[in-house]
Amino acid sequence: MTGPSATTQTLAADLLIIGWGKAGKTLAKDLGGRGRRVVLVERDDSLIGGSCINVACVPTKDLIDSAEHRAGAEPAAYLRQAIASRDSLVTRLRAANRAMLETVEAVTLIGGEARFTGPHRVRVRGGDETLEITADQIVINTGSSPLLPDLPGIDGPNVHTSQSIQHITDLPERLAIIGGGFIAMEFASMFAAFGSQVTVLERSARFGSGLDGLDDDVREAVVTALTDRGVRILTGAVVEAIDATGVNTSAGRIDAEAVLVATGRRPETAALNLGAAGVATDERGFIIVDEHLATSVPGIWAAGDVNGGPQFTYISLDDYRILASQLAGDGSRSTADRSAVPTTTFITPPLAQVGLTEREARRQGIDHVVAAKKVADIAAMPRPKILGETHGLIKVLIDPATDKVLGATVFSTDAQEVINLVALAMRAGATATQLRDGIWTHPSSTEALNEVLATLSAGR
């Protein structure tokens, strides 16, 4: 524990932050820089800096990039090199995050597990030491972790989560992935590129039940991209048990040296003793907050994954903005200010979305027209052909009365960048015609908008 060295000490703070996530660390730096007495508590040294840089966004994308560049390298040795490179990057980022706060005099960093003993009192244990912290304002920023279903064999040594598989000892010749959501897709694409024979086990009769309502044409394009790289997708496969050599399912036996369980995430609240503080949670254990991220207890907020909102680091960063508005601003910012929030799943090529899908627009009865084209058929966008990756499609929904963009799916090379432009256009009120007639660099992926949106003009 960094801080008081006696067996039991007390410490008073203006602001206590529990958990070193994106929102928490950014808020600590901001308010500490303003002279507030900030205490930040983190129980796990391997998560200093938050999940994003340690086990989520950054290290997984580093592994995905390595997998895409394997070429003819021997698979097992190459995976070990990729993991070592991943670990080196994480170590550097973790050190930079620690240094970012250690240089702020008003911020005190504490290592240990926090547990509420009252609404504004927390006990932190680290080794043989105990610290009692009181604070008028508290932010809970403890994040989430992989959720494991209750299955025979789930605790076997060959069973992995999205975190543990990043340090798998040997490249499995055969990898079974339980789950059909976005995390499952990313790892399926990654390990297929590393050289494993990947089988995705989807309990639904149709692949992608956990993919937030993808349109059928997008779903089919995703399946094509995955199967073309060797991923086997088995639908209607309810997992019954896992053992040392594979998985028993309702659709038959799947032999595998390793099993990845990607069936969702749970909030990290079990150790917090939230009942002592009176902080309310929902039926899944996520902390209930209002549009200003305030919990049921005055002076306590919850930020990041633990509050049940979208589980993205950029949402956690926006949570920081809302909290800063509450704690050091005019209090006006809220989750209601969020619009056209994009998402990206880093399969190959990336799948990015913003706004309405066609399925959702129809369900809501929203008038719309669609401009769409397969990436392989977009002549004005040679970049995918240059890179040798022409899977996917680009699809834009437009309000015919206003010419405003209602939503878009970009399943293509550089989708994670193109979708940001479309999201900005939606927030700024730019029209589809302005995107269609935009002057974009060449060769780039953005210029696909010229041709895709022109198909709408041709159809009018």
Any binding-site annotation on 244? no
Q: 160, 167, 292, 442: which is the annotated catalytic residue?
A: 442
Please name the residue that has the structure tokens 């049921």: 296
Any binding-site annotation on 143? yes
Which residues have CB under 8 Å from 172's CB, separation 6+?
A: 191, 196, 256, 257, 258
Antiparallel, parallel or unpaired: β 369-374 and 393-398? antiparallel
Q: Residue 238: phi, psi to the nearest 5?
A: -80, 120
Any binding-site annotation on 183? yes
Euclidean distance between CA atoms 35 and 404, whole angstroms: 45
Any binding-site annotation on 96? no
Any binding-site annotation on 142? yes
The SS3 assignment for 123 reads: strand
Q: What is the CA radius of gyration of the chain?
A: 24
H/E element holding 420? Answer: helix 415-428
Any binding-site annotation on 343? no
C-alpha distance from residue 283 to each of 263, 280, 288, 308, 319 (Å):
17, 10, 10, 11, 22
Antiparallel, parallel or unpaired: β 107-111 and 38-42? parallel
Euclidean distance between CA atoms 379 and 11, whole angstroms: 65
Antiparallel, parallel or unpaired: β 246-249 and 252-255? antiparallel
Any binding-site annotation on 165? no
Any binding-site annotation on 186? yes
Our answer to whether residue 160 is catalytic in this structure is: no
Any binding-site annotation on 61? yes
Residues in the chain: 460
Any binding-site annotation on 25? no
Any binding-site annotation on 181? yes
End-to-end CA distance of the chain: 67
Q: Which residues are catalytic?
A: 442
Please state the residue numbers annotated as binding site for NAD(+).
Answer: 179-186, 202, 264, 305
- Binding positions for FAD are 61, 142-144
Binding site, annotated residues: 61, 142-144, 179-186, 202, 264, 305
